[in-house]
A and B are shown apart, each in its own frame.
Chain A
Amino acid sequence: MAQALTFDPVRLPHEAEALRAEVRAFVADTLPDDLLRSSDFGSGHDPEFSRALGSRGWIGMTWPQQYGGGGRSFFERYVVTEELLAAGAPVEAHWIADRQSGPVLLRYGTEEQRAFFLPRIVRGECFFSIGMSEPDSGSDLASVRTSAQRVQGGWVVNGTKLWTSGAHRNHYMITLIRTEPQGDNRHAGLSQFIIDLKGSEGLTVRPIANMAGDEDFNEVVFEDCFVPDEHLLGSAGNGWEQVTSELGYERSGPERFLSSFRLLVELVRAVGDAPEPEQAAAIGRLAGHLVTLRKMSISVAGMLQSNHNPVVEAALVKELGNNFEKELPEVIRLIAPERSGRLFRRTLEDTLLHAPSFSLRGGTREILRGMIARGLGLR
């Protein structure tokens, strides 16, 4: 049987389910009534909300307690993240640090780096960006040209990162940089660095407005920017392995299929309790897809919990999940009641305007399908 299809039936354990009510109550008490709810993890930067989550122990939940982490399971983290997304809470500020940067620091960081960054992330005080793409390097990540030269006590970085979400607001960025000229093995000679986005000389961050009118992603330009040795992450030259190790975390979570969820909620509200058959069928279909994606995502959480790195399974969740969250507004606009009210229209428009990014961010659909094909033994 094809290897790509290992999604063991996993049920969330009781201690994870027990958190659900707590998160729901917190969100209900904390979020203002007039907030336009969005389940998109990239929508809603609110440091105060992130700090409040931190004080509850809901950031860095799976990390060791010695770094301020919760020492809890991936299932518990799963419940907290899906509850926040489903409610449309503003999770953008701490999202990347919690999901990705923290685990990478835990795995590859020095003791000093862990002791410095992790407790700050956990408290919701320290936010991270991911510096991967460049003007000429998108899906072909190994072709990055931003380079670092060794100097006394550190490195001097030159080059440009692009589409870096949150770089204008976040404190740090973990970035992939070429530290040796490209040779025959294009995956060699790459390294990861922690860049201080607030206090580095020779660093310019310029927001780029997106088509929805938000300023979210950025151009980050390095001009002889000095980065101290203490900010090299992992070993020099090991960057490719480190970057690809993040993918299981990055691609399988509920943020890969819940981005449009609030629109489904508003559709049900607009339709009321006596739907037309066509409306009922569409709602039932979308709900069935969501329920299934959620089970698949929980299966991957189970694999992460058992220390596996389910790259292909995670790619499958993201591929199916992105298709779902992109299809949702397309289906819903055609079955919504004609007079659906302002809240419904705003949610629909907000979803449509962000949908093009869903199957681009975190690995394009085409790249993911290529990875799945590799998992199937086709390449």
Chain B
Amino acid sequence: MSDTHDDAASVGRLIQDTADRLLREQCSKELVDASEAGEWPEALWRTLVETGLPWAAAPERLGGAGLRLTDALALLRLVGLHAVPVPLAETLVGAALLGQDAAVDTLPQGPLAIALPGTSDSFEARYGSDGWVLEGSIAHVPFAPVAVQLLVAVAAEDSLALLRVDPAACAMDAGRSIAGEPMADVRFDALQVEPAAATSLSGWQNLEQLVALMALTRALMSSGAMQSLLDLSVGYALERKQFGRPIAQFQAVQQQLAVLAGEAAAAIRAADGAVEAFEVALYEASQDPARMAAAVREAGVAKARSGEAAGRGAEIAHQVHGAMGFTYEHRLHHRTRRLWAWRDQYGSERFWQTRLGRELCSAGADALWDELTRPL
């Protein structure tokens, strides 16, 4: 690691601390409620824009802070910690990826959405002399209804391109996730995308790698939400009195909160591990397919582990909070509902577990330990 990168990392921590304070103040219960009721939190977004957070990983020539994407990803933990109701992950990642393209001279000035076609989508992207033609639909695209631009990932031979698409040019069947956040099934009707609106992603070979990166954003956001569940539940247990004493004094409650702490710690550590793996793949050994494959695997582990932690953690947090945590008035559900939404985005636990299991079986029993311990 170079000194310059250490400097950048400490800039990253500074931004992180500032962002933490800012988001804690801004993301009040009322603000998150209002955004769930359909109101776009313009004031919050404008504050984020002023601090430059959405473009933290975009190059300086485009007005970004020029952080490594992997340093900026740590900011996403705050999205879970404070239930931030805007597409920070999508905009941060989207702007960083677009910024790789020297031909891009301005970034879209607003929230982005990223559409990754899945195997169950009937979607087709054809490349011809006039650029790309998109046909079919991509389901459940987070934040598509509020994005100023849609980034559609399309795979070409051994490479990957991001197409910048005007949301108005697509048909959207808009809805909300279980967390009340906007999403849409996006339909393309022979939509023409000119070559100038396509960014070829160097260092990325296939769509699955991008799915893994987005899965990692969800793992990071979930690990922040897990931290929040723990903080809220410990606080509540110390405050709430029954039988003449705080319920924190009951062993049954203590034991459950210890389990929650373990799940939170595992979610956090797994997500950090995947960030490290992407750091190696993207910055220390870029263009090495083996490193990228390791990063995809680590992201899958983080996504699956945080998804499992989410289920157990939400269960315990709600049990500790009692009926109070089941009210709309309490802010716990802004976290638990996000955890339930995120665990199903970009591959559920089952998806990533099956993928890893197949890989390990094809490597075989005698290679298992080596597979699990190979350094990044």
A-side residues, CB < 8 A to B, are: 1-2, 4-5, 7, 9, 11-12, 17, 20, 82, 86-87, 261, 264-266, 268-269, 271-275, 277, 279-285, 287-296, 299, 313, 316, 319-320, 366, 368-370, 372-373, 375-379
Contact = CB atoms under 8 A, between A and B. Distances in A.
Contacts of A293: 266
B357 A292 contact: no
Contacts of A269: 364-366
Nearest to A313: B265
Contact of A377 (B238, B276, B298, B352): B238
Question: Which of B248, B259, B301, B369 has its CB near the most chain A CB atoms (within 10 A)?
Answer: B369
Contacts of B375: 11-12, 17
A288 B349 CA distance: 10
A265 B364 CA distance: 9
B266 A376 contact: no
A125 to B, nearest CB: 30
Interface centre among B237, B356, B366 (most CB of A within 10 A): B356
16 contacts: A2-B227, A7-B265, A87-B369, A265-B366, A265-B368, A269-B365, A275-B358, A279-B357, A280-B355, A283-B356, A287-B360, A289-B305, A294-B372, A295-B269, A295-B273, A319-B262
Contacts, number: 178
A287 B374 CA distance: 13
B350 interface: yes
B301 A288 contact: yes
Q: Give the size range of B's interface with the partner.
A: 35 or more
A369 B234 contact: no
Contacts of A376: 230, 234, 257-258, 261
A324 to B, nearest CB: 10
B352 A378 contact: no
Given A1-B231, A265-B369, A281-B357, A378 B301 contact: no
B357 A9 contact: no
Contact of B255 (A5, A279, A366): A366
Given A268-B361, A281-B357, A287 B265 contact: no
Interface of B: 227, 230-231, 234, 237-238, 248-249, 251, 253-255, 257-259, 261-262, 264-266, 268-270, 272-273, 275-276, 298, 300-301, 304-305, 308, 349-350, 352-358, 360-362, 364-366, 368-369, 372-373, 375-376
Contact of A379 (B231, B248, B352, B376): B248
Contacts of A280: 353-355, 357-358, 361
Contacts of A9: 269, 272-273, 275-276
B350 A378 contact: no
A296 B266 contact: yes
Given A5-B264, A11-B375, A295-B273, A369 B357 contact: no
A271 B358 CA distance: 11
Contacts of B273: 9, 291-292, 295
Contacts of B255: 366, 369-370, 373
A2 B353 contact: no
B132 to A, nearest CB: 34
B238, B350, B358, most chain A CB atoms within 10 A: B358
Residue among A4, A288, A369 having the largest count of chain B Cβ atoms under 10 Å? A288
A376 B304 CA distance: 26
A272 B361 contact: yes
Nearest to A14: B375
Contact of B305 (A265, A292, A369): A292
